[in-house]
Amino acid sequence: MLTKKQHELICFINDRLADTGVSPSFEEMKEALDLKSKSGVHRLISALEERGFLKRLPNRARALEVVKMPERTETKQAPAPASTRRIVPEPANDVVEVPLHGRIAAGVPIEAIEGASTLPVPAALLGSGEHFALEVAGDSMVEAGILDGDFALIRKQDVARDGEIVVALIEDSEATLKYFRREGAMIRLDPANRSYDPQRYAPAQVRVQGKLAGILRRYA
């Protein structure tokens, strides 16, 4: 039998995982349960672990797995027929730390700054392969839904097909995020904003660094 706070916490965590695939932070759990400190959250999580309702996933930031949900016996309702029961899928709540390599232009090419920081990314957003992240600077890809300040998630690869959005390194010094297209003997990098013109380069001037795999956006 769970306490009221334990029951509230596991329901809050389960709902958040079902909605976003990512565990809520300790601060979010503290506020949701109207607790005075995060130490209260730690105690509740430990108690739920001991009772076999929760499991912490090692080497993952903010990663919790709901092993089972408590029976809602307090409602004294008959169990739903098997045909109408809601089946909750196993949450994809892994968070992966990917390298964050600074800012990349979505307008006029700027220098790609190598950095040592990382960005936590829900594993569900990433497919196979090796990935890194770049912060978008500029507005030339807005018509593709890529805005200034977004984080572009890039799958490392050195080839691209026409129409793919790629990170292109120009003359080994400047990087840009554009649609990749071949135009005769030239490489054309197309923006997604009518205010910008396509950029054309000889193949020797352009090296593909990776293909866009997804976008992360933070809201103030």
Do residues 173 and 166 lie in contact, with contact meaning Cβ atoms separated by under 8 Å? Answer: no
Q: How many CA atoms lie within 13 A of 87 on its CB side?
A: 4
**HEC sequence for 176-190:** EEEEEEEECCEEEEE
Coil vs helix vs strand at 48: helix
CA 152 to chain centre: 10
Place of tokens 């103030």: 220
Beta-strand relationship, 131-137 and 95-105: parallel
- Out of 4, 25, 39, 140, which one is annotated catalytic? 140
Q: Rounded to 5 degrees, what are φ and ψ at 12?
A: -65, -45
198 secondary structure, DSSP code? -
| 178: annotated active-site residue | yes
- Out of 38, 83, 178, 195, which one is annotated catalytic? 178
Do residues 102 and 135 lie in contact, with contact meaning Cβ atoms separated by under 8 Å? Answer: yes
- Calpha distance 169→150 (Å, rounded): 19
| 140: annotated active-site residue | yes
Place of tokens 């009221």: 4
Do residues 66 and 10 lie in contact, with contact meaning Cβ atoms separated by under 8 Å? Answer: yes
Enzyme catalytic residues:
140, 178
